[in-house]
Structure 1
Amino acid sequence: MSLTLPATTGADRPPALGLWSTTDHGRTLAVLIPHRQSERIADVSVSENSRAVQVRITRAGLPAAAGARLVRSIRNLPLTLPLGNRRLTMTWDGEPIPLLQAVPAGVEDGGGSASERAKKELVGLIETLEPGSALPSERALSERLDIARMTLRNAVDELTLAGRVSRRRGSGTYVAESKLLCRITPDGVNLDPVAPGAGFGHVHVVRDVVEADSDVAADLALAPGDLVLHIGRLLLADHRPFGLISRHIPIARLAETPGAPSAMRWFTGRTAREETRIQLSTASPPEARTLDLSQLQPMLAWHKTALDDTGAPLERTRVLVRGDRAILDLSSPPST
């Protein structure tokens, strides 16, 4: 590791920063202190409790030469408990030193960080399990990996966002399941599993006339509170909730149709073009409950607004699917 520091004007100023890392599963703290060659370190002590670790550096009572070049001193300090998420501070003759975790260029992180080690341990465990398998409980994992539960929880959160695991409300944490190829269709979404299996389909969860909220009203050029037909469907994959489709149609536009049972086909046939937005999202609390997922679960959302030949909105469809399982196919169908 190379380190370049700006020149300082005062001979008695503390070091510009201190670097640190951990070894031995977080039980040994390695500190690196860049200081002037003329300064000597007399003592390095550590005090710790359940929330914080403080390193105190005392220099020998020697005059400091302002023009002396910088050198680095390294000390390995044993801790009674792994550093984990505890707050780390360092002082030089009572003056605080800014801290930076050391990650040398060109060298892989050896897992010194408790959080990184937790992720590596969890990934190793995940790779031994089948998709959809349950992970051990948080308590069991904490004891098995010798990692603080808060550190473990943070690692699971990161793996959830990365799509490696998923959380089910009141059930636990599971290895991410097989991916599904999703194609946008006039009806919302078509699922094409990469690893085919039974249990794919949808069920209607709502069909009602409701007042348009601000988002729906904006997409459909309505005033908030105008009436719309809301058709909601729950998508199933492997017999489990995979996503939601919410379709909103202005009641005033439906009045133009010839009536049931051909009304919806006639209505969809008037679509001249579509406007689509795709974004990463999270589920709202009601959506998370319906999908039996944690709100931390990454979701893929797209909004599609169908317009007639005059540019007036006909309907608005919002599709929300699990981001850890979805592969979005935007390719155009082959021309005939």
Structure 2
Amino acid sequence: MSLTLSEAAGAVQTGHGQPPALGLWSTADRGRTLVVHVPHKQNERIADISVNENSRSVLVEVVRIGVPGDNGARLVRSTRSVPLAAPLGNRRLTMTWDGAKVPLLQAVPAGGEDTQESAAERAKKELVTLIDTLEPGSALPSERVLSERLEIARMTLRHAVDELTLAGKVSRRRGSGTYVAESKLLCRITPDGLDLDPTSPGAGFGHVHVVRDVVEADEQVAADLGIDRRDLVLHIGRLLLVDHRPFGLVSRHIPIARLAETPGAPSALRWFSERTSRVDTRIQLSTATPAEARLLDLSQVQPMLAWHKIALDDKDTPLERTRVLARGDRVVLDLSGQ
């Protein structure tokens, strides 16, 4: 294909001069339009642009007109948009200026100009528009339907959904699909984990015990408690529920050897907790382990808020380790009482 854009019919060329130091390019209309930006001297004008393309390459040939004037004229930028027979894709792009090759860079404006969106960015905008029309907790259409509706590849769609998941706009449920993120919940940290603010939506807040057993300490638990790996610990785990759906997990690990120092009465755990002199706490973004993701019925890419607490006695001996894992797309922490 050859296309010529004339800007000054009948003008006479007046020598080649120096080619531009570089040319910039971008695409529009999903790669079917090539936008060329050429910085050149003010006393030169672009007369013609011809484009020759094949399956492997695209050649842009710029023909200039020299206008009499000072050779030290300031630089200006000319921009031309040229339709292509097919999207540029991965084809090699070359540009010449009066036959001299010009180095090319892809244009990436810092802002203030319209830029060509990537397929994933376009998909994200389309998805956000769709999400705004749905109620919290509503299911999004299937991947196949969305891919066809947005006219993008499934891999690109998954990338866009992953980013919206990390941004807390949607959540994925294992084997079920993708859902609009549910309403935020104001939570307070307590010695046993999290308590929902009574004014928050979701009257069905509660918990169920999912683990209460004596197990061997893994590497992380042992390090936090200052014990040897595989030492026995009491593991108490609770699944937090909101409106009868998984919301978070609370895991407590207590060294059996230190728990044995308690009187052994029914209130042993409470008496043990009362030995706490200080608490080291850290809060960070995290993801669930495969086992935690199964309990929470979520994808592992779902952002989670992890709260770690190490309780120590007056001799700085670790007494217990508590880890709270809550859905990062729903939780808002109230630290006013901390």
* Pairwise TM-score range, normalised by the shorter structure: 0.7 to 0.9
SS at match of 2:107: strand
Q: Identify if the C-alpha distance between structure 1 residues 161 and 66 changes in structure 2 by more than 3 Å, giving closer, same or farther.
A: farther
TM-score (structure 1 length as normaliser): 0.81
Q: Identify if the C-alpha distance between structure 1 residues 310 and 104 changes in structure 2 by more than 3 Å, giving closer, same or farther.
A: closer
Distance 2:81 2:194 in 1: 59
Counterpart of 2:253?
248
Comparing 112-121 with 31-40, which one deviates more in the overlay? 31-40
Alpha-carbon shift at residue 238 of structure 1 (Å)? 1.4
SS at match of 2:316: coil
Which of these residues, 21, 32, 36, is aligned with residue 32 of structure 1? 36
Comparing 89-98 with 122-131, which one deviates more in the overlay? 89-98
Are 1:21 and 1:102, in contact at CA under 8 Å, matched by a contact in 2?
no
SS at match of 2:257: helix
Counterpart of 2:177?
172
SS at match of 1:18: strand
Distance 1:113 1:202 in 2: 43
Q: Structure 2: which 5+ residue stretches go unaligned?
A: 1-16
Counterpart of 2:307?
302
Q: Identify if the C-alpha distance between structure 1 residues 158 and 315 changes in structure 2 by more than 3 Å, giving closer, same or farther.
A: same
Are 1:46 and 1:77, in contact at CA under 8 Å, matched by a contact in 2?
no
Aligned-pair Cα RMSD in Å:
3.0
TM-score (structure 2 length as normaliser): 0.81
Q: Identify if the C-alpha distance between structure 1 residues 261 and 139 changes in structure 2 by more than 3 Å, giving closer, same or farther.
A: same
Alpha-carbon shift at residue 95 of structure 1 (Å)? 7.1
Counterpart of 1:97?
104
Distance 1:291 1:243 in 2: 7
Are 1:39 and 1:59, in contact at CA under 8 Å, matched by a contact in 2?
no
Amino acid at match of 1:100: A
Alpha-carbon shift at residue 302 of structure 1 (Å)? 0.9
Where do residues 1-336 of structure 1 align in structure 2 (5 Å cutoff)? Answer: 11=18, 15=22, 18-23=24-29, 26=30, 28-37=32-41, 38=44, 40=46, 42-45=49-52, 55-60=58-63, 69-78=75-84, 80=86, 87=90, 90-93=93-96, 97-102=104-109, 104-105=111-112, 112-192=117-197, 195-332=200-337
Are 1:132 and 1:174, in contact at CA under 8 Å, matched by a contact in 2?
yes
Distance 1:304 1:13 in 2: 62
Are 2:20 and 2:39, in contact at CA under 8 Å, matched by a contact in 1?
no
Distance 1:298 1:90 in 2: 41
Q: Structure 1: which 5+ residue stretches go unaligned?
A: 1-9
Residues 18-48 of structure 1: CA distance to partner in whole angstroms, max 9, x if unpaired? Answer: 242424xx36434232243458564234556
Are 2:19 and 2:102, in contact at CA under 8 Å, matched by a contact in 1?
no
Q: Identify if the C-alpha distance between structure 1 residues 185 and 195 changes in structure 2 by more than 3 Å, giving closer, same or farther.
A: closer
Are 1:14 and 1:92, in contact at CA under 8 Å, matched by a contact in 2?
no
Residues 127-157 of structure 1: CA distance to partner in whole angstroms, max 9, x if unpaired? Answer: 1111100001111112223333333222211
Are 2:109 and 2:115, in contact at CA under 8 Å, matched by a contact in 1?
no
Distance 2:228 2:61 in 1: 69
Are 2:123 and 2:150, in contact at CA under 8 Å, matched by a contact in 1?
yes
Q: Identify if the C-alpha distance between structure 1 residues 48 and 180 changes in structure 2 by more than 3 Å, giving closer, same or farther.
A: farther
Aligned pair count reads: 311
Identity of aligned residues (%): 62
Amino acid at match of 1:323: G
Alpha-carbon shift at residue 189 of structure 1 (Å)? 1.4
Distance 2:117 2:293 in 1: 35
SS at match of 1:297: coil
Deviating 4+ runs (over 6 angstroms): 65-68
Are 1:282 and 1:297, in contact at CA under 8 Å, matched by a contact in 2?
yes
